[in-house]
Amino acid sequence: MKQLLWLFCLLISIHACGSNSLQTSDMADISTSDVAPSEVQIAPDMSISDILVDSADEIDTATNQPIIPPQIVYETPDLAGDRTDSTISALGSVAVQPAIAVGNSGQPIVIFAGTSNENSDLGIYASTPGQPTTPVRTEPSGQRNEPSICRLSDEGFVAVWSYDGQAVGNPLGVEGAIFAADGSILSSFDVKTEVEGNHWLGHVGCNPSGGFTVAGSRTDTDGTTFGVFAQHFRNDGTVLDDAFIVNPAPEGTQVQPVVGVTWGGTGVVMYEDAPTDGDYRLNARTFDPSGVVSSTFTILASEGADALKPAIALSHNGRVAYAGNIGGQIQVLSAPSLQSPEPTEPWVKTFGSFIFPAITYLSTDTELAMVSLVNVTRSGAPAVRVEILTEGSNASLSSVSLGDDPNLPPYPPSIGYGGGVLAVAWTQRTDDGFEVHQSTFVGSAIKP
């Protein structure tokens, strides 16, 4: 029955846990360095864009390798310094599960699940600075949640999310939308494969050479469980090729996939693997434009405890970072490249009650930013913890605690980086529902 935990959680009402809640065992309290929210509101003013390759055809013919342009390197954002704090304007009483990405200009876009005054179903909405919140998709009827978003090579964005239309006779699905650089909606699409039936839990990774890859769970070949698939798309949302299976066999249930993609369309999918008799583990498999490449390898596992909530990040030059939960501990691991994707040893292990990691590389291969929730399932002041980690050190380079909700709900936070701007988003409770908060931190200068 363990492999059906994810289905049970779906059936719980949003006020109880939502589709992303996590029950962890009691852990020791931790003390965090609380930083009072800044009263200073500083809007990013970044005029230099990263160098982009707009086409997957940019290949070094001598080596058959994608050309990786030099990267603009920004100063590391000062988490204890000035920042911009805001609350996302919502159209109803519920706004939850934000996903955030940042353009090369430094402007963030937030996608979230929410309600409106006209629609009590969860729909998908988008918010960008200075613009009214926009409905992305609310029809057909059903519940939409767990969005994911990334920045495209043409400086636009793509988002995907889960759709549950079972109450109105529709199967579980994965839907998506393409956005322009200013956050305006260009088109929408559905993720469908050759397999009939349910598709769910979509996550998207953008190929800096052009296009994107969607990973999700769908009815497996045994017809009774879920397995993980992935599929490549062009920047405009049209399909490049047939979907391919990521998990090597139908035994057990594989859910909650996350995907990261680097130059030339190579990437890695990491997912929760629930065997028929045993504990959840976090497994992964690499791919290229033609399909899976590596055998399955394990990122996190622990006898007697479940490994959950996978997170992944790829640096500009192809280093890989993985994160996940074992109980109330987050572990961060790294690997040198997708050619050698198996992590060698843990980078960071948290101590205390930390859940729901989200990670992103900054503008070098050695600095990683992580956001997580602290003390949500344990006594102590709950907070949204943001920290910057440096490769080779298990101590944070800098950190800050955000949020002012004494009953912080167990919805995963999100993190994004672009144009020297680090942005995080998370969910807080209100008197009659939930709202999304956002903070941004700006690198002070460009290094020569």
- Rounded to the nearest 10 degrees, how much is the dihedral formed by the CA atoms of 74, 77, 83, 87? 90
What confidence tens digit (pLDDT) does each residue in 93-107 have?
999 999 999 999 999
Closest CA to 323 of 270, 276, 252, 287: 270
Write down the pLDDT at residue 117: 86
Write down the pLDDT at residue 249: 79
This prediction has a pTM of 0.86
- Look up residue 157 and give its amino acid: F
CA distances from 332 to 70, 174, 274 (A): 27, 28, 21
On the question of pLDDT at 32 being above 70, the answer is no
Write down the pLDDT at residue 224: 64
With cut-offs at 50, 70 and 90, classify the pLDDT of residue 445.
Answer: low
CA pair distance 261, 209, nearest whole angstrom = 10
What confidence tens digit (pLDDT) does each residue in 45-73 have?
333 333 333 334 444 434 467 889 988 89
User: Who wins on pLDDT, 174 or 6?
Assistant: 174
Write down the pLDDT at residue 395: 84
On the question of pLDDT at 1 being above 70, the answer is no
Q: Please report the domains of the chain, with CATH numbers, ordered by start residue.
A: 2-442 (2.120.10.10)
CA pair distance 448, 440, nearest whole angstrom = 24
Write down the pLDDT at residue 206: 98
- Look up residue 136 and give its amino acid: V
